[in-house]
Structure 1
């Protein structure tokens, strides 16, 4: 069974917990900002909540466990109800990936705090390993979701952002091709040459983003020895 999974079988509890948090916060961010901008569609559908049950899609979770990529239930948004549809539409689309970037920063900040306070060393070996695994996936999965959702392929957020940037005539033509989005998405994920040509170069920058956040926190905290925290995860 482990050969069918993208992640080690022993890590699945941590992966699932982080996926549940990351997807829930991501979709909540979309729904909340749409609501405060005047669109009650997601609110009336019960999506302005941090309850994971209303946001998670089991097929999307299964795929992320098997293929490394998946999705949550998309938040319904009616941009026509916004006072400034294009600007507010961009914000509503962008806050989802930005929430994942924020969770990456929170995970890195937690590593700094644990290192500087010595709290991690005070627990048992089992507690230490559980915290390390959780923070590892909190940081890495959220940065992957941040980058992945900015890819300009429907129905991802990057595509929605571009739709609100381009002229109306171009947007109309883009809307005509939305039905092909999921097909293109699955081709990219499951055909190795396409994946290597598109996704792998994008995700190669994830370590650079993580290092940039680390460097930012290093300006305010004593520099952390990441090898002491976990040599396998934070090299």
Structure 2
């Protein structure tokens, strides 16, 4: 048996799978959350997020490396914040409020959609 096989045979694969089962959905939620901040800002006249490529669903544009490590270890993580220039809004206070609420609102909408989908699928069992 090679040293590599010995390492693999002693590895706790169920622990890794549990981490992946929580980290991957969390990353999807975090990415959608951040993109929605950028989309709200864009809709209100600020093109900063678009110019910096933050309207992408590409995880690499949003992931904060330390936030990802914390997510994997402690199940508390974060992404890079979306840049917003409030001077581009007609009403800066209202624009910042709407932009700030867009991310959490997207999480609630995503949760409701997923609960509806999973509720339908489990009700047929």
For the aligned pair, the TM-score class normalised by the smaller chain equals 0.7 to 0.9
Instruction: Pick one of 87, 103, 107 that aligns with 1:96.
Output: 103
Q: Which residue of 1 aligns with 2:7?
A: none
- Report whether the alignment pairs 1:111 with 2:118: yes
TM-score, reference length from structure 2: 0.81
C-alpha distance in 1 between matches for 2:63 and 2:26: 9
C-alpha distance in 1 between matches for 2:27 and 2:90: 32
Task: Tell me how far 1:117 sits from its aligned partner.
Answer: 3.2
Displaced runs of 4 or more, over 6 A: none
Q: Which residue of 1 aligns with 2:22?
A: 15
Q: Which residue of 1 aligns with 2:55?
A: 48
C-alpha distance in 1 between matches for 2:122 and 2:29: 24
C-alpha distance in 1 between matches for 2:112 and 2:65: 27
Contact 2:23–2:71 (Cα < 8 Å) also in 1: no
The total of aligned residue pairs comes to: 111
- Structure 2: tracts of 5 or more residues without a match: 1-14
- Report whether the alignment pairs 1:28 with 2:29: no
Q: How does 1:214-229 map to 2 (within 5 A)?
A: none
Instruction: Pick one of 76, 79, 86 that aligns with 1:72.
Output: 79
Aligned to 1:83, the other structure's residue is in SS state: coil
C-alpha distance in 1 between matches for 2:44 and 2:98: 10
- Structure 1: tracts of 5 or more residues without a match: 1-7, 119-235
TM-score, reference length from structure 1: 0.45
